[in-house]
Chains A and B, each alone.
Chain A
Amino acid sequence: MTNDTIDQIIDKHQCEASSLIQILLDIQSENHWLPKEALERVSEKLNVPMSQIQHITTFYKSFSLVPRGRHEVHVCMGTACHVRGAQRVLDTVQEQIGIGPGETDVDLKYSLETVNCIGCCALGPVMVVDGEYHGNIAPAQIADTLKNYE
């Protein structure tokens, strides 16, 4: 991520320190993670100390300080999904892409996370890829579903 793109995002928010979280979210969605150089740039431009940025970026789970894959795979492990076989879904996903929850593969293609409820229990078990919901998913369908993401 270049300094220009970061500056553009910061300018879009009028360089306001109060927009810090919005700016970080924009960088996160553009770049999939928050590199240290980007945070230093934000700190400098907004005049917000690095300690505060560190506090915020480690507090919220939506920020990542390590590289993430191009596709975010979330498997819901909430109660409703759990009783409908979320564990088997998770096991199959892990087998397919070869990483555990919280990890990213070497090609930076996928990152896997478990979530505790995404609020659509009627669709369980649910897997979300890049914000797209795959409800009522059977372990056998997972390989085909993941093929659609390059």
Chain B
Amino acid sequence: MSELLLQIDGREVTARSGATILEAAQSVGISIPTLCHHEKLEPHGGCRICSVEVDARGRTSVVAACLYPVEQDLVVRTRTSKLERIRKSLVEMMMAHAPDSEQLQALALEYGADSERFEKDASFCIHCGLCVRYCAEIKKKNAVGFIDRGPRKEICFIPEIASKECWECKECFPLCPTSALQAAFVLIKALSFPDSKE
């Protein structure tokens, strides 16, 4: 596996080819905020909070650090005023959905996001897909999935699978950056198998 040399926030970093910017940054202790990333799962690039600026092939662009593979002589900046602005807006939009999420509140504090900027539409889910991907990729049970699209998109448990598998597992609960997942499960439990006991 060949080693590549790149620059992150002015520091020289070596990374193996095929690694992402996020992995390269984490290996030298540069922190990039993430919400939908999980080291055991395939990169998803859903939340965009890990956006960084890269100079590659003669131009500067904003890319998702969790997806972008490292290149030789790549120049990456993880903290610029433009990125602060992007992350601030993202947090503000996500807070309209999940105002009580601790992770979002911490990010809001860091980036000076105004949690009241957008009208509250508390679905509590920010569509990070962690539960859906964990269930599909690690547990291979596919008990939870997305339904619908656009503003109506939400997570939904498949009752037939959930009633058999979820009682013993529940490993996706702590992954959720908001409390939406647990709420969705409690709801489907109440609606679908009211007689089952825990």
Contact = CB atoms under 8 A, between A and B. Distances in A.
Question: Do these two chains really belong together in a complex?
Answer: yes
Interface of A: 49-52, 54-55, 58-59
Contacts of A54: 145, 147, 156, 158
Nearest to A49: B142
A142 to B, nearest CB: 31
Contact of A52 (B142, B148, B161): B142
A110 B2 CA distance: 64
Given A50-B142, A51-B136, A54-B156, A59 B161 contact: no
Interface string B114-143: 000000000000000000100110000011
Nearest to B135: A51
A55 B146 CA distance: 5
A21 to B, nearest CB: 15
B155 to A, nearest CB: 10
B143 A51 contact: yes
A123 to B, nearest CB: 29
A74 B76 CA distance: 52
A147 B144 CA distance: 45
Contacts of B145: 49-52, 54-55
B164 interface: no
Complex A-B, nearest 5 residue pairs according to Cβ-Cβ distance, in ascending order: A51-B145, A49-B142, A58-B147, A51-B142, A58-B148
Contacts, number: 33
A134 to B, nearest CB: 30
A58 B147 CA distance: 6
A59 B136 contact: no
B149 interface: yes
A80 B149 CA distance: 27
Contact of B158 (A50, A58, A59): A50
5 contacts: A50-B145, A51-B136, A51-B156, A52-B142, A54-B158
Contacts of B142: 49-52
Which one of B147, B156, B160, B161 has the highest number of Cβ atoms from chain A below 10 Å of its Cβ? B147
A51 to B, nearest CB: 3
Contacts of B147: 54-55, 58
A53 to B, nearest CB: 9
Contact of B149 (A49, A50, A51, A59): A59
Nearest to A53: B145
Interface string B91-111: 000000000000000000000
A54 B158 CA distance: 9
A50 B142 CA distance: 7
B138 to A, nearest CB: 14
Contacts of A52: 142, 145
B169 to A, nearest CB: 15
Given A50-B158, A50-B161, A51-B132, A59 B143 contact: no
Given A50-B145, A55-B147, 13 more contacts: A49-B136, A50-B142, A50-B161, A51-B136, A51-B144, A51-B145, A51-B156, A52-B142, A54-B145, A54-B147, A55-B145, A55-B146, A58-B149
